[in-house]
Chains A and B, each alone.
Chain A
Amino acid sequence: MLKNTLSIIGEYILFLKKVFSKPDKSKIFFKKLLFEMESMGIGSMLIVSIVSIAMGSVITTQTAMQIESSWIPSWTVGFVSRTSIVMELCPTIISLLLVGNLGSRITAEIGSMRVTEQIDALEVMGINPASYLVLPKVLAAMVVNPILIIFSIFFALVGGYLTVLITGCITPYHFMDGLTYCFRPYDIFYAVTKTFVFAFVMSSVAAFYGYRIDGGALELGKANTQGIVVSSFIILILNVLITQIML
């Protein structure tokens, strides 16, 4: 078990070395990078916004329920919701959502190229398939995911605002007051940094599991599951570590 894990880690490091080598043709690389950024960003925007609005609404309702006391000022609901949304819910939960959405897509795409010998075809042509196929995806995820998280934070706060507007659990004025109370730009920096690291893990691990497939459709399914489980696990561990380091 340990030997197997160490062997996979070694294989992953060698894979990253291949991925981060100079692209064969920079013009084609930038074209692919832009394509990946567009497809990842636009493709995930809808699901990210829906989940974020729902998440913001639920966290605001739950916070309002928990601190119903005349001793606690009502703007606390906005303050607590904002802090939870910015610092933990959006960067971590949305990153885990993107593992399922973008990560599985990357594994499936690269895995099916492996199964149908398209990766072998690239290799025979003298092209580094890891760099050609994976590097644009990894870089695109590292650029796009933090932007998606910023949008996600915005939508979650809108969700919270709409909830107080509709349910009237506190006044919208108090909610807005709480949202802006003691706001630290560092919290956004912390959220973006986390997402940046998570995006790297999600895209590289997903691509790694797709790239090393040896077999057919059955292995593709297994690789997809493994990629999601392993990257989610690493993201959760890194979440703890980054929080300890940055806060």
Chain B
Amino acid sequence: MIEVNNICKYFGEKQVLFDVNTTFEEGKVNLIIGRSGSGKTVLLKCLVGLFTPESGVVLYNGRSFHDLPDKDKHALRAEMGMVFQGSALFDSMTIEENVMFPLDMFTEMSLEEKRERVNFCLERVDLHNVNKLYPAELSGGMQKRAAFARGIACNPRYLFCDEPNSGLDPKTALLIDELVVDITHDLNITTVVNTHDLNSVITIGETISFIYEGHLQWRGNKDNVLTSDNELLNDFIYAQPLTQRIRQNL
């Protein structure tokens, strides 16, 4: 379980996170939702240690991440996988080398074992015959899936995804959502997903934290997100004509 306690983050004079408190539960798909610029990515980067909050703590099973000694921090990071918004695949490496990279760095597996693991991960994300291709030769959706394969290569306990279905067509976005749910439950990992995709919110959000202008405004799940009486959340959820119609029928 990941607990976020009173996180505040500043960039210069500007405060972007205000005393955020939330919890991301083990073995579940946990969503952070909010408008663009609300502080979702900053919160996610505080969770994985790319940003250090000015105050507050991030607890991984009770241990404060930012206060851990370097060695323990290193060990904890080896248990994390992350899928970035732009995939962040290493463009000088083939897809196979990308997925194999964490195995090269953190395991003593033989080349044969690594290849087997790479093929398993690529099959798990439904990618076939792409081992020798470079990221630039794949579509956006395939790059995202390859990034998932790299993210799960070392059997992580925690998987973080920054807007995994942004910029994808609706069908591919659905496939990515399904993939997130399947990976989370099959591998029993704690997944934290940053998104403002409404379909993801109502279909995969086992816990949902809604951030508005750096403040945590609401916490719930996919079952009560559509019936909340939080005005800011409703403004976000029912911003589009399509969702407004759904609301009228609720």
A interface residues with partner B (beta carbon < 8 Å): 24-25, 28, 113, 116-118, 120-121, 123-127
Q: Is there a chain A Cβ closer than 8 Å to B155's Cβ? A: no
* Given known A125-B77, A126-B74, A126-B77, contact A120–B105 (CB-CB < 8 A): no
Query: By CB atoms of chain B within 10 A, which of A124, A125, A127 has the most?
Result: A125
Min distance, Cβ A35 to any Cβ of chain B, angstroms: 10
A residues less than 8 Å from B1 (CB atoms): none
Determine the chain A residues whose CB is within 8 A of the CB of B75 once the complex forms: 126
Q: Which of B23-58 contact A (CB under 8 A)?
A: 45, 48-50
Interface positions, chain B 192-236, Cβ under 8 Å from A, are none
Complex Cα–Cα for A123 and B91 (A): 17
CB distance from B176 to the nearest CB of A (A): 18
Contact of B105 among A24, A113, A123 (CB under 8 A): A24
Q: List 12 A-B contacts (CB under 8 A).
A: A24-B105, A25-B105, A117-B84, A120-B50, A120-B84, A120-B88, A121-B84, A124-B48, A124-B77, A125-B80, A126-B77, A126-B80
- Residue in B48, B49, B105 with the greatest tally of chain A CB atoms within 10 Å: B105
Q: Contacts A116-B91, A120-B50 known; A125 to B105 CB distance under 8 Å?
A: yes
Contact status A124-B105, CB under 8 Å: no
Q: Are B84 and A28 in contact (CB under 8 A)?
A: no
Query: Within the assembled complex, what's the spacing in Å between the Cα atoms of A117 and B147?
Result: 12
Is there contact, CB below 8 Å, between B91 and A121?
no
B104 in contact (CB, < 8 A): yes
B contact residues around A126 at 8 Å (CB): 73-78, 80, 106
Residues of A within 8 A of B131 (CB): none
Closest residue on chain B to residue A112 by CB atoms: B91
Q: Which of B74, B77, B85, B106 sits near A117, CB closer than 8 Å? A: B85
- Show the binding face of B for A, using Cβ within 8 Å: 45, 48-50, 73-78, 80, 82, 84-86, 88-91, 101-102, 104-106, 160
Using CB atoms, name the residue of chain B closest to A27. B104
Chain B residue nearest to A28 in the complex (CB) = B104
With A116-B91, A121-B88 given, can you name 16 additional A-B contacts, CB distance below 8 Å? A25-B105, A116-B88, A117-B86, A117-B88, A118-B89, A121-B82, A121-B84, A121-B90, A123-B49, A123-B50, A124-B49, A124-B50, A125-B102, A126-B77, A126-B78, A126-B80
Complex-state Cα separation, A116 to B50, whole angstroms: 15
Interfacial chain A residues near B86, Cβ < 8 Å:
116-117
Q: Is the CB of A118 within 8 A of B90?
A: yes
Residues of A within 8 A of B82 (CB): 121, 124
Name the A residues within 8 Å of B106 (CB-CB). 125-126
Query: Chain B residues with Cβ under 8 A from A124's Cβ?
Result: 48-50, 77, 80, 82, 160
Contacts of A116 in B (CB 8 A): 86, 88, 91
- Of A28, A113, A117, A123, chain B has the most CB atoms within 10 Å of the CB of A117
Q: Which residues of A contact B76 (CB under 8 A)?
A: 126
> A22 to B82, alpha carbons, bound, how many Å?
24
Query: Please, how many angstroms separate the alpha-carbon atoms of A159 and B88 in the complex?
Result: 47
With a cutoff of 8 Å between Cβ atoms, the chain A residues found around residue B45 in the complex are 120
Q: Measured between alpha carbons, how far is A123 from B50 in the docked complex, in Å? A: 7
CB neighbours (8 Å) of A123 from chain B are 49-50
Q: Are B91 and A118 in contact (CB under 8 A)?
A: yes
Contact: B88 with A125, CB < 8 Å? no
- In the bound assembly, the distance between CA atoms of A225 and B89 in angstroms comes to 27
Residue of B nearest to A119 (CB): B88
Chain B proximity of A214: nearest CB distance (Å): 10
| Interface contact A125-B50, CB-CB below 8 Å | no
Closest B residue to A35 by beta carbon equals: B92
The answer for the CA separation of A120 and B78 in the assembled complex, in Å, is: 14
Across-interface contacts of B73 in A (CB, < 8 A): 126
For A109, the closest partner residue in chain B by CB is: B92
Contacts of B101 in A (CB 8 A): 125
Q: Which 8 A-B pairs have the closest CB atoms?
A: A126-B77, A117-B88, A121-B88, A124-B82, A117-B84, A126-B74, A124-B48, A118-B88
* Alpha-carbon gap, A123 to B80, bound state (A): 11
Distance (whole angstroms) from the CB of A80 to the closest CB of chain B: 46
Which residues of chain A come closer than 8 Å to B84, judged between CB atoms? 117, 120-121
* Nearest CB of chain B from residue A103's CB, rounded to whole Å: 19
Residues of B within 8 A of A118 (CB): 88-91
When chains A and B are docked, how far (Å) is the Cα of A113 from the Cα of B86? 12
Distance of A24 Cα from B74 Cα, bound (Å)? 11
CA distance A46 to B82 in the complex (A): 42
Distance in angstroms from B14 CB to nearest chain A CB is: 14
The interface residues of chain A lying within 8 Å CB-to-CB of B50 are 120, 123-124
Bound-state CA distance A126–B154 (Å) is 12
